[in-house]
């Protein structure tokens, strides 16, 4: 019923193509700069220790994690987890490690947008899954005789829930952009990067930022599609 809706592809395809391009940019930048050895031959753990000691982040722990580009900061355990590629002595590794420590710095100072994101993560996770289900269940009920108003109300509830997931992707943008800005400043402040390496760090972080913009674009496109369908059904 909804699979071949041309309206869906009108909303989804541009955002999907943007996401594919963003992923290509990330892989391209990472593959290039992961092959460039850092001038000081510092691996990811070395970079992390230097920055933590000099930036007042000694309370942060560092752990290894499986996977490729699975690096993240866990504010609950105050730990950055680094994948195999990020513990190598490369420019890309420096960028990733510094970025995750940028999140640790945000957490330490109580950065507003990080706290805002944490406050909605639960409802956002619920909304991204249950919201979509409720929307389509509501449309199905609305197509049945005598269930139009009930189905429409359920679909609206689904859209409201899904909006929380959209809000999460939007709030994520300032969090990630700020962490990258902090990362570049920390690396330069501590003399860990040359001019050429700084350009590489910037390329990796800019490419990574595109993936968050793409995620926001995809969620917004899906929300607009839901709203458009509801407006058409209401009419």
List the catalytic residue out of 55, 63, 100, 176: 100
CA distance 48 to 96: 10
CA distance 1 to 139: 10
CA distance 177 to 32: 22
Strands (E), the chain: 61-64, 72-74, 79-82
CA distances to 116, 128, 158, 170, 221 from 164, rounded to whole Å, are 12, 8, 10, 10, 14
Name beta bridge partners: 85: none
Give the rounded distance of the alpha carbon of 145 from its chain centre: 42
User: Of 108, 118, 113, 54, which is closest to residue 80 (Cα–Cα)?
Assistant: 108
User: Of 235, 168, 171, 181, which is closest to residue 208 (Cα–Cα)?
Assistant: 181
Task: Judge whether 100 counts as a catalytic residue.
Answer: yes
Token couple for 112: 């507003």
Coil, strand or helix at 143 = coil
Token couple for 103: 């999140």
Catalytic annotation, residues? 100
């Amino acid at each position: 019923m909804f699979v071949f809706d041309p309206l869906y592809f009108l909303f989804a395809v541009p955002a999907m193509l943007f996401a594919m391009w963003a992923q290509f940019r990330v892989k391209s930048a990472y593959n290039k700069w992961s092959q460039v050895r850092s001038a000081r031959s510092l691996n990811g753990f070395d970079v992390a220790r230097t920055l933590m000691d000099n930036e007042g982040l000694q309370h942060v722990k560092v752990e290894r994690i499986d996977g490729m580009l699975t690096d993240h900061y866990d504010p609950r355990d105050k730990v950055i987890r680094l994948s195999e590629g990020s513990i190598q002595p490369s420019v890309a590794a420096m960028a990733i490690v510094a970025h995750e420590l940028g999140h640790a710095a945000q957490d330490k100072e109580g950065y507003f947008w990080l706290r805002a994101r944490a406050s909605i993560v639960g409802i956002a996770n619920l909304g991204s899954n249950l919201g979509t289900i409720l929307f389509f269940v509501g449309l199905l009920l609305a197509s049945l005789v005598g269930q139009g108003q009930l189905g429409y109300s359920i679909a609206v509830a689904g859209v409201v829930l899904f909006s929380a997931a959209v809000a999460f992707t939007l709030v994520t943008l300032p969090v990630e952009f700020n962490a990258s800005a902090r990362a570049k400043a920390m690396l330069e402040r501590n003399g860990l990067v040359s001019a050429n390496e700084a350009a590489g760090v910037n390329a990796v972080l800019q490419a990574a930022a595109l993936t968050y913009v793409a995620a926001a674009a995809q969620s917004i496109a899906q929300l607009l599609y839901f709203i458009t369908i509801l407006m058409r059904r209401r009419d």
